[in-house]
Structure 1
Amino acid sequence: MKLNIFLITLLTTFSFLQAQNSTQTPFVLGSISGKVIDKNSKQPIPYVNVSVKLEGKLITGGITQENGSFTIKNLELKEYTVEFQFMGYKKQIVAADLSTNKNVNLNTISLEEDAIQLEGVEIVKEKSTYEQKIDRKIINVGKDLISAGATAGEILNNIPSVSVDAQTNAISLRGNENVRVLIDGKPTNIDPAQLLKQIPSASIKQIELITNPSAKYNPEGMSGIINIVLHKNANKGFNASINNGVTFAKTPKVNSSFDMNYKVGKFNFYGNYGFNHGLQKNRGFVNSHQPNADKTVDFNFGNKNTSHLYKIGVDYYLNDFNTLSVYTNQNLFLSSGNSTTTVDYQSIALSDIIQTNKSHNKNPSGTYNLDFKHKFKKQGENIELEANYNQNKGTENARFETFTNTSDLVNLNDINNINNNTKINLDYTNPLPKDAKLETGLETRIEDANNNFDKNQSFNSDFNYKRTIHSAYVTYGKQWTKWGYQVGARFENYTADAKFDAVDTEDTNGNGNTIEIIAGNFNDKINTVYPSGYLSYKFSDKNTFNFNYSRRVDRPSIGQVNPIREWSTPTVTSVGNPYLKPQFTNSFELNYTRKTKIGSISSVIFYRIINDEITRLVEVDPNDSNRNILSFANFKDNNSYGAEVSANLDFTKWWSANIGTDIYFKKIRGTVTSQFVEKDISIFNGRINNTFKATKNLRFQLFELYRGPEQGLQFLRKSMYKTDLGASYNILKGKGTISARASDIFNTMNFSFDGTLPYKQEGAFYWESRSVYLGFNYRFGGGKNAALQRKQRDKNETQGSGGMM
Structure 2
Amino acid sequence: MNKIFYSLILALFVGQAFAQTNEVSATLKDSTGYTVIGAAIKLVSPKDTLSAVTDIDGNFTIKNVKNKSFSITVTALGFKNFSKAFNFESTTSNKFSLGTIILKNDVTLLQQVTVDGTPDVVVKEDTLQFRADQYKLKDNALAEDLLKKLPGVEVDRDGGVTAQGKQITRVRVNGKDFFGGDVKTATQNLPADILQNVQIIDDYGDQANITGIKDGEPEKILNFTIRPDRNKGYLTRGTVGFGDKDRYQASVFGAKFNNNQQISVLANFNNTNANIFNLTQQGGGRRGPRGGAMGFNSSGLTDVKSFGINYRDEWSKKVTAYGSYSIFGRNNTLESSSLQQNLASEKNGYTTIDDGKETDSKSKNLNHRFDFNIEYKIDSLNYLKVTPRVTFSTTDKTEDGKFSILNNGDLSSDGKYLDLNDSKNPNLGADILYNHRFARTTRNLSLSAYMNTSSSNSNQDYLNRSIKYGNDPITAAQNLYQKQLIENDNTSNNININTSYIEPLSKTKSLEFNYEYGYNKINNDRNVLESKIETDAPAFNADLSNDYKYSFITNRVGLNYRVKQDKISYTLGMGVQPSVLKGESAGKNLYTRNTAFNIYPSARFQYKFSRSKEFNINYNGRSNLPSYNQIQPVVDRSNIQYPVVGNPNLDAEFTNNVNIRFNNSNITSGNTFFTNFNANFTRDKIVSSVKSVKDPNSDAIQERSYANANGYYSLNGFYAYNRQLKEKKYVFGLRGMANYNNNISFLNDEKNIGKNLVLSQRVQIQIQPKDWLEVVPSVSYTYNRNNFTLDSRSNSEVHTWSTAFDSKVYFTKTFLWGAQADKNFNKGYNSVNANPFIINTYIEKQFFKGNTGALRLTAFDLLDESTAISRTVNESYILDSQSNKLSRYFMLTFTMRINKFAGSTNTNFNSGDRERYRPSGSGHQGMGRF
What do residues 579-611 of structure 1 show as CA deviations (whole Å, max 9, x unaligned)?
A: 222344444444433323234212344545443
User: Is residue 492 of structure 1 aligned with residue 577 of structure 2?
Assistant: yes
Q: State how far apart, in whole Å, the 1-side matches of 2:391 and 2:304 are.
A: 19
Q: State how far apart, in whole Å, the 2-side matches of 1:54 and 1:644 are.
A: 35
User: Is residue 525 of structure 1 aligned with residue 595 of structure 2?
Assistant: yes
The aligned amino acid for 1:143 is: E
User: Is residue 644 of structure 1 aligned with residue 718 of structure 2?
Assistant: yes
The aligned amino acid for 1:546 is: N
Q: State how far apart, in whole Å, the 2-side matches of 1:397 and 1:314 are.
A: 38
The equivalent of 1:614 in structure 2 is: 686
User: Is residue 277 of structure 1 aligned with residue 329 of structure 2?
Assistant: yes
C-alpha contact (below 8 Å) 1:341/1:570 kept by paired residues:
no
C-alpha contact (below 8 Å) 1:365/1:392 kept by paired residues:
yes
Rg larger for = 2
The equivalent of 2:165 in structure 1 is: 161
Alpha carbons of structure 1 residues 557 and 57: separation in structure 2 relative to 1, 3 Å: farther
Alpha carbons of structure 1 residues 632 and 757: separation in structure 2 relative to 1, 3 Å: closer
Shift of 1:334: 2.0
The aligned amino acid for 2:165 is: S
Shift of 1:653: 3.2
Q: State how far apart, in whole Å, the 2-side matches of 1:703 and 1:639 are.
A: 32
User: Is residue 632 of structure 1 aligned with residue 706 of structure 2?
Assistant: yes
Q: State how far apart, in whole Å, the 2-side matches of 1:257 and 1:737 are.
A: 25
Which of 231, 240, 262 aligns to 1:239? It is 262
Higher relative CO (CA 8 A, sep ≥ 6), structure 1 or 2?
1
**TM-score, structure 1 length as denominator?**
0.67
Shift of 1:313: 1.9
C-alpha contact (below 8 Å) 1:243/1:776 kept by paired residues:
no
Shift of 1:357: 0.6
**TM-score, structure 2 length as denominator?**
0.59
The equivalent of 1:40 in structure 2 is: none
Shift of 1:276: 3.4
Shift of 1:140: 11
C-alpha contact (below 8 Å) 1:160/1:659 kept by paired residues:
no
Q: State how far apart, in whole Å, the 2-side matches of 1:157 and 1:657 are.
A: 20
C-alpha contact (below 8 Å) 2:362/2:399 kept by paired residues:
yes
Alpha carbons of structure 1 residues 482 and 572: separation in structure 2 relative to 1, 3 Å: same
User: Is residue 354 of structure 1 aligned with residue 386 of structure 2?
Assistant: no
Alpha carbons of structure 1 residues 495 and 698: separation in structure 2 relative to 1, 3 Å: farther
What do residues 434-462 of structure 1 show as CA deviations (whole Å, max 9, x unaligned)?
A: 53454433222211111111112857112
C-alpha contact (below 8 Å) 2:164/2:675 kept by paired residues:
no
- Identity of matched residues, %: 15
Alpha carbons of structure 1 residues 270 and 397: separation in structure 2 relative to 1, 3 Å: same
Alpha carbons of structure 1 residues 95 and 700: separation in structure 2 relative to 1, 3 Å: same
User: Is residue 339 of structure 1 aligned with residue 339 of structure 2?
Assistant: no
DSSP-derived class of the 2:380 partner: coil
Q: State how far apart, in whole Å, the 2-side matches of 1:102 and 1:28 are.
A: 6
The aligned amino acid for 2:303 is: P
The equivalent of 2:514 in structure 1 is: 441
The equivalent of 1:471 in structure 2 is: 556
The equivalent of 1:603 in structure 2 is: 675
Shift of 1:535: 3.2
Alpha carbons of structure 1 residues 738 and 424: separation in structure 2 relative to 1, 3 Å: farther
The equivalent of 1:8 in structure 2 is: none
Q: State how far apart, in whole Å, the 2-side matches of 1:756 and 1:472 are.
A: 34
Q: State how far apart, in whole Å, the 2-side matches of 1:632 and 1:776 are.
A: 56
Shift of 1:412: 0.9
C-alpha contact (below 8 Å) 1:207/1:227 kept by paired residues:
yes
Q: State how far apart, in whole Å, the 1-side matches of 2:605 and 2:627 are.
A: 32
Name which of structure 1's ranges 678-687 and 734-743 shifts more when overlaid on structure 2.
734-743
The equivalent of 1:403 in structure 2 is: 465
DSSP-derived class of the 2:487 partner: strand
The equivalent of 2:370 in structure 1 is: 310
Q: Aligned ranges for residues 63-102 of structure 1 at < 5 Å?
A: 80-84=74-78, 94-95=80-81, 102=102
Alpha carbons of structure 1 residues 409 and 461: separation in structure 2 relative to 1, 3 Å: same
Name which of structure 1's ranges 554-563 and 446-455 shifts more when overlaid on structure 2.
554-563
Q: State how far apart, in whole Å, the 2-side matches of 1:617 and 1:153 are.
A: 37
The aligned amino acid for 2:111 is: L
Q: State how far apart, in whole Å, the 2-side matches of 1:258 and 1:693 are.
A: 37
Q: State how far apart, in whole Å, the 2-side matches of 1:737 and 1:319 are.
A: 50
Which of 600, 604, 607 aligns to 1:534? It is 604
RMSD over aligned Cα atoms? 5.5
The equivalent of 2:783 in structure 1 is: 708
The equivalent of 1:390 in structure 2 is: 452
C-alpha contact (below 8 Å) 1:202/1:243 kept by paired residues:
no
Q: State how far apart, in whole Å, the 2-side matches of 1:310 and 1:398 are.
A: 28
Shift of 1:360: 0.9
Q: State how far apart, in whole Å, the 2-side matches of 1:400 and 1:672 are.
A: 28
The aligned amino acid for 1:416 is: D
Shift of 1:409: 3.8
Q: State how far apart, in whole Å, the 1-side matches of 2:31 and 2:414 are.
A: 81
The equivalent of 1:42 in structure 2 is: none
Q: State how far apart, in whole Å, the 1-side matches of 2:732 and 2:859 are.
A: 17
The aligned amino acid for 1:308 is: H
Shift of 1:349: 10
Alpha carbons of structure 1 residues 106 and 145: separation in structure 2 relative to 1, 3 Å: closer
DSSP-derived class of the 1:111 partner: helix
The equivalent of 2:219 in structure 1 is: 226
Alpha carbons of structure 1 residues 298 and 462: separation in structure 2 relative to 1, 3 Å: same
Shift of 1:201: 6.0
The equivalent of 1:416 in structure 2 is: 489
DSSP-derived class of the 1:750 partner: strand
The equivalent of 1:253 in structure 2 is: 304
Q: State how far apart, in whole Å, the 1-side matches of 2:395 and 2:773 are.
A: 38
C-alpha contact (below 8 Å) 1:663/1:684 kept by paired residues:
yes
The equivalent of 2:883 in structure 1 is: 766
Shift of 1:668: 2.6
Count of matched residue pairs = 673
What do residues 559-585 of structure 1 show as CA deviations (whole Å, max 9, x unaligned)?
A: 443456789434324454332223444
Alpha carbons of structure 1 residues 639 and 107: separation in structure 2 relative to 1, 3 Å: closer
C-alpha contact (below 8 Å) 1:238/1:781 kept by paired residues:
no
The aligned amino acid for 2:309 is: F
The aligned amino acid for 1:361 is: S
The aligned amino acid for 1:417 is: N
Alpha carbons of structure 1 residues 528 and 154: separation in structure 2 relative to 1, 3 Å: farther
Alpha carbons of structure 1 residues 243 and 293: separation in structure 2 relative to 1, 3 Å: closer
Name which of structure 1's ranges 631-640 and 461-470 shifts more when overlaid on structure 2.
631-640
C-alpha contact (below 8 Å) 1:395/1:416 kept by paired residues:
yes
Q: State how far apart, in whole Å, the 2-side matches of 1:489 and 1:627 are.
A: 48
Alpha carbons of structure 1 residues 162 and 791: separation in structure 2 relative to 1, 3 Å: closer
Q: State how far apart, in whole Å, the 2-side matches of 1:741 and 1:437 are.
A: 62
Q: State how far apart, in whole Å, the 2-side matches of 1:605 and 1:150 are.
A: 18
Shift of 1:397: 1.1
Q: State how far apart, in whole Å, the 1-side matches of 2:708 and 2:362 are.
A: 35
C-alpha contact (below 8 Å) 2:80/2:105 kept by paired residues:
no
